[in-house]
Amino acid sequence: MSARPRPLMAAFALLAAGSLALGAAPAVSADPGPKPVTDFPHPDLRKAYDATVKYRSEQKAIDDGFMRTDDCVEDPALGGMGYHYVNPANLGSTDPTKPAAVLYEKDHKTGKRELVAVEWVVPDPNGNLPRPRLFDRDFDGPFDFEPVGPHSSLHAWIFKKNPKGVFAPYNPRVHCTPCPEDHPKA
C-alpha cells in the first residue's frame, strides 16, 4: 500500500468518529505566516489562492466547515503534509475554489498553525470513474481506505513552496516534529 493514503485516513477517521471539537481550536493570530507561492504554473491556481487565503486564519477555516484534526502527517522519506482540516461539503469538488481539505503546519517557534497547502479529494465508491483532472493534470491515485473508500486526490502547495513541485503530495520542507534548525543552539 502506498504511503499516500495515511493523511486523509486520519482526518476522515476523526470525522467519521465525530470526535472533532469544532469550538475547541485555539485562535490564530493575524500574522500572515509563510510567503505564498507566487509563480503559479496554472492560472486557476490564482483562483484557488484567492478563495483560500482567508484560511490563514485557522478559525476562519473552522467557521467555514473545515474540521480540525490533531494528527500531523509526515513520512520520513518523503516529507510532510501537515494537519488536514476536511470540509465534507467539498468532497468530490474539482472546483479550484472549493478544496476538500486545507493543510496546516505547526510553527515550532510560535506553536501556531500556518496554512501551507490545499487538497481536492474525489471519492469513487465503485472504483470505475475516470481519474479527475484539475489544473490540466490528473489527480493522484486511486487510493482505497476506510472510511473514504476508493478516491483520488490532488495537493496544491500554494502557501508554502515545495521543492518537489506545486502538485507533489508531500513537501520535504513540512515537518510534524521540530527540526534542529527550529531550535538554535544556546
Q: pLDDT of 125-165, one tens digit each?
A: 887 888 899 999 999 988 886 667 789 999 999 999 999 99
Residue 125: predicted pLDDT: 86
Q: For the chain, what percentages of helix, strand and coil (3-state, to nearest 5) are there?
A: 20, 25, 50
Asked whether residue 25 is assigned to any structural domain, the reply reads no
Asked whether residue 180 is assigned to any structural domain, the reply reads no
Asked whether residue 146 is assigned to any structural domain, the reply reads yes
Asked whether residue 77 is assigned to any structural domain, the reply reads yes
Asked whether residue 23 is assigned to any structural domain, the reply reads no
Enclosing domain of residue 51? 6-18+34-175
Asked whether residue 74 is assigned to any structural domain, the reply reads yes
Asked whether residue 136 is assigned to any structural domain, the reply reads yes
Residue 177: predicted pLDDT: 79
Asked whether residue 118 is assigned to any structural domain, the reply reads yes
Residue 147: predicted pLDDT: 64
The answer on pLDDT for 61 being more than 80 is: yes
The answer on pLDDT for 185 being more than 70 is: no
pTM of the entire structure? 0.78
Q: In the chain, how many domains are there?
A: 1
Contacts of residue 186, defined as CB under 8 A and 6 or more positions apart, other chains included, come to none
